[in-house]
Amino acid sequence: MKQKIILDDIVSIRGKRTDGYVNFGQKPDGSQFRIPVIIIEGEKEGPTLLVDACTHGDEYEGAEAIVEIAKKLETEKFVGTFVGVPALNFEAFSCISRVSITDGYNLNRIFPGNNESYITHRLAYTYMEKVVKFVDCVITFHGGGDVLHLEPIIGYLPGDDEISKKTLELAKAFNQKFIWSMQNLPFNGVTSIEYKRILGIPTVLPEVGSHCGRLYDREGNVKICSDGIVNVMIALKMLDGEAPMPVEKMNVELHYLHARNGGIQKLLKQKGEIVEEGEILGEIYDVFGNKIEELEAPYRGVVIGFWSVPVIRPGDWWYLYAKILD
Ligand SMILES: [Zn+2]
């Protein structure tokens, strides 16, 4: 059995549940930079599942689901250990910001971090050393946050090795339509890649919900997250129960199509739409109403998401557009 997570500050112990913090730096006001951690022990020994959210501080759907599921697991019988981290970048979460406030870093570009430089690097390092190292698999929630819309899409790292196979199995078990093969990410320092590379831990990365859905479908998106956690726990045999009827899956490879210019953008293709190569996805207008840019679909694909704010800046992600793999 793996060694257990040790919390620096314990807030409460209630039955089989412990809430507390892992600390990673004292602020000038004497308080700590800290990671909130919920640990719930099941009835029998088994796998340790870590579920976290708010690596990007404005992606709250997973956070709400973790809080809900933790409450349920307090009184439910299960096998193994559930570790919930509802707000990994707690500072960004508190300030409704995608990235860290203190040093401006995007936490999901700097893993595995280090303990010698900036505070966000120390957050990544501390999290891996004091939490992730002690678990068997991870669900790390993301979403569209405040400026993007994304259809629910479940990321996994493909490969022929056992870790990759396990990740795909768990991504499928999460049970949403879009399964995202993440072999072509255009950036480094991502949790799932580093957990696999350094710790040999499989990580599923669901993107669920955004500001667009929060008016009418906030609870619906939180439910997608909590159902997904339960489905993964059933697949890991942590929870009893039947796996749900599998939904029809589409395996995709996501590409980030950027805006060349800034302006007022119009979305011509909508979420989930299948688009033929050469069709126009979107247009950008200047403030005088002149069209200054069109975005052509580079291949036949499906619209997973887009920039949801009317104004876009040069270089921003415009369409999250996916190749259909099978
Ligand atoms: Zn994110």
The rounded Å distance from CA 143 to ligand 1 centre is 5
Question: For residue 201, which phi and psi values (nearest 5 degrees)?
Answer: -110, 130
Q: Where are the domains of the chain?
A: 9-235, 255-324
The rounded Å distance from CA 243 to ligand 1 centre is 27
Q: Distances in Å between the alpha carbon of 77 and those of 153, 223, 226, 237? A: 29, 21, 17, 12
The rounded Å distance from CA 287 to ligand 1 centre is 30
H or E segment to which residue 83 belongs:
strand 79-85
The rounded Å distance from CA 120 to ligand 1 centre is 15
241 CB-near residues (< 8 Å, 6+ apart): 230, 234
Structure tokens at 54: 């708010």
The rounded Å distance from CA 241 to ligand 1 centre is 31
Local structure of 164: helix, strand or coil: helix
Local structure of 21: helix, strand or coil: strand
pLDDT number for residue 326: 81
Sign, CA torsion 246/58/233/242: negative
The rounded Å distance from CA 206 to ligand 1 centre is 9
Structure tokens at 154: 């479940």
The rounded Å distance from CA 2 to ligand 1 centre is 29
Q: What's the predicted TM-score (pTM) here? A: 0.97
The rounded Å distance from CA 207 to ligand 1 centre is 7
The rounded Å distance from CA 302 to ligand 1 centre is 20
The rounded Å distance from CA 144 to ligand 1 centre is 7
CATH architecture under which domain 9-235 falls? 3-Layer(aba) Sandwich (3.40)
The rounded Å distance from CA 202 to ligand 1 centre is 18
123 close to 33: Cβ distance less than 8 angstroms: yes
138 close to 198: Cβ distance less than 8 angstroms: no
H or E segment to which residue 236 belongs:
none
Instruction: Supply the CATH classification number for the domain 255-324.
Output: 2.40.50.100
The rounded Å distance from CA 91 to ligand 1 centre is 15
The rounded Å distance from CA 191 to ligand 1 centre is 11
* Tens-binned pLDDT, residue by residue, of the chain (326 aa): 467 899 999 999 999 999 999 999 999 999 999 999 999 999 999 999 999 999 999 999 999 999 999 999 999 999 999 999 999 999 999 999 999 999 999 999 999 999 999 999 999 999 999 999 999 999 999 999 999 999 999 999 999 999 999 999 999 999 999 999 999 899 999 999 999 999 999 999 999 999 998 999 999 999 999 999 999 999 999 999 898 999 999 999 999 999 999 999 999 999 999 999 999 999 999 999 999 999 999 999 999 999 999 999 999 999 999 999 98
